[in-house]
Chains A and B, each alone.
Chain A
Amino acid sequence: MQGSDPYVMANINTPLAALRQVDFSYSPGERLILSGLDMVFPRGKVIALMGGSGSGKTTVLRLLGGQLFAQRGTVEFAGRDIAQCDTAQLYAARRRMGMLFQFGALFTDMSVYDNVAFPLREQGDLSESIIRDLVLLKLNAVGLRAACHLMPSQISGGMARRVALARAVALDPELIMYDEPFAGLDPISLGIAARLIRRMNDALGATSILVSHDVEESFGIADYVYFLAHGKVAGQGSPAEIRASDDATLRQFFDAQPDGPAPFHYPGSSLEEDFGVTTLRSTA
């Protein structure tokens, strides 16, 4: 064993990030969004987080990034509990993560170039020439090197998301998180986005966590899938295993059935009560 430093140990065997027995609600006393959640994110893999709307998928990403803190349980990153970190340690951890927000979240007052250069400029004392090389490399990886002088308002949504991806991987992070990267994209951009996610992950040797509704694209690139329902993991496994599963919740989702364990009608009073109709009871 190489010494007792937990940080070193973490590098070898333990997963990059994990949620263990996590309970979370937005304010104490409110309904638990996540309860007793156990998830493990090993290195080098693309993991898809799927589930119905409001099932807490984005919350998992926020917990990993330290933007939210769990009421119970531990959120680990590189062997350290995020909740126990002080500000400096949290920032150090965040520098090893990259996050792609749903619509890119580019800084609208800066050009594409400045957006990608932002994390590079803020972090180190890199010279402008090194920054220029890095920015152009990252933009080239997403195919937008020639667009570096444009402003975010001048590029399409799909392009904005690619720029945001270049920005998210500017510091070569070990954990990349994607919040609905496929939402609202045309088929060409969808394909591009999926390929980029896979290639970026493999090129950096990173772990990618993908929150998405898009079954086809996600299954195409994911190594492992977690399915969340009611704040718990309702199903997990490789895409093939999930597709073959018999679980009713999973079947409703992946077969796109309107009604099932997740009901079509919002729970409330019955049809008869609302329309004032009493069912005729047959006397025969």
Chain B
Amino acid sequence: MILRAFRYLGQHTLRYLAVLGYASRMFGIVLCAIPRLGRRLRLVMDQLYFVGNHSLLIIAVSGLFVGFVLGLQGYYTLNKYGSEQALGLLVALSLVRELGPVVTALLFAGRAGTSLTAEIGLMRAGEQLAAMEMMAVNPLSRILAPRLCAGIIAMPLLAAVFSAAGIFGGYLVGVGLIGVDTGAFWSQMQAGIDVTGDVGNGVLKSVVFGVAVTFIALFQGYEAKPTPEGVARATTRTVVLASLTVLGLDFLLTALMFH
């Protein structure tokens, strides 16, 4: 009985390690194919449109709403300690360091990640990937690499838009609605936020998240079973896996950067 449990665990671990190794190898191949895209910019541009422009609206609106909430909640909490002048600093720090990169990555996984997975899964189901291979074109460089490149470029830009929209939202609520002094709002923020330390690290985080989320979406689509349930399950796995990875990486990166 115990032996069976061990064997089950062992098999599962070995299978998981095999998948991890296979995924790492594919990641290396796709990453190395990106520099060669310099001559095929059109492919990257097309993908940047699907991944970036289509996500812009949801990211900006979400950022605005999160900024509203931060302004409100931040005020209520700071007010207890008489430090409501620091509202600008609170809103900006929360967004730039954490919420900007992380929430953007989660939204990106849900919106762009799922569409990438579904698109590639359906290409596999329709034998398009096999057809491409038979035409001596490597789908990893032709299909996956441009999408990964677009994800890496789009994510930091989207995170910046999220943070900027959030700060604006916090400003609207804090200064416009509640009446915090506008000068204090901005000056405390500017005094407390370090460009390389906070903004720079936030950008670095979003780049790492971009790589992780996009590649997970691509891998799940590429390895999906070529059936409707297979594609559906792969899409779900993308969201779950990408979200968990983002949160885990966030902890790791925060510990490394802000110690």
Contact = CB atoms under 8 A, between A and B. Distances in A.
Contacts of A101: 127, 130-131
B135 A122 contact: yes
B126 to A, nearest CB: 6
A99 B137 CA distance: 13
A164 B130 CA distance: 13
B54 to A, nearest CB: 15
A119 interface: yes
B127 A107 contact: no
Contacts of B126: 103, 105, 108
A189 interface: no
A105 B131 contact: yes
B135 A102 contact: no
Contacts of B41: none
A102 B127 contact: yes
A97 B134 contact: yes
Nearest to B119: A109
Interface in A81-120: 91-92, 94-95, 97-99, 101-103, 105-108, 118-119
Interface string B121-146: 00000111011111111100010000
A105 B136 contact: no
Contact of A92 (B132, B133, B134, B136): B136
A30 B127 CA distance: 24
A119 B131 CA distance: 10
A95 to B, nearest CB: 5
Q: Which of A97, A122, A123, A167 has the largest number of chain B CB atoms within 10 A? A: A122
Interface string A176-208: 000000000000000000000000000000000
B135 A119 contact: yes
Nearest to A91: B136
Contacts of A122: 135-137, 142
A92 B136 CA distance: 7
A119 to B, nearest CB: 5
Q: Which of B128, B130, B136, B142 has the largest number of chain A CB atoms within 10 A? A: B136
A94 B131 CA distance: 11
A67 interface: yes
A102 B131 CA distance: 11
Contacts of B127: 101-103, 105
A105 B130 contact: yes
Contacts of B137: 118-119, 122
Contact of A67 (B128, B133, B136, B138): B133
B128 A107 contact: yes
A94 B130 contact: no
B40 to A, nearest CB: 10
A99 B136 contact: no
B69 to A, nearest CB: 39
Nearest to B137: A122
A231 interface: no
Contacts of A65: 134
A62 to B, nearest CB: 8
B228 to A, nearest CB: 15
Contacts of B132: 107
A118 B135 CA distance: 9
A56 B36 CA distance: 39
A67 B142 contact: no
B50 to A, nearest CB: 10
Interface of B: 126-128, 130-138, 142
Given A67-B133, A94-B136, 9 more contacts: A94-B133, A97-B134, A99-B131, A102-B127, A103-B126, A103-B127, A105-B128, A105-B130, A167-B135
26 contacts: A65-B134, A67-B130, A67-B134, A91-B138, A92-B136, A94-B134, A94-B136, A95-B135, A95-B136, A97-B134, A98-B134, A99-B131, A99-B134, A102-B127, A103-B126, A105-B127, A105-B128, A105-B130, A105-B131, A107-B128, A108-B126, A108-B128, A119-B135, A119-B137, A122-B135, A122-B137
Q: 6 closest Cβ contacts across the A-B interface?
A: A105-B127, A105-B131, A91-B136, A94-B136, A99-B134, A119-B135
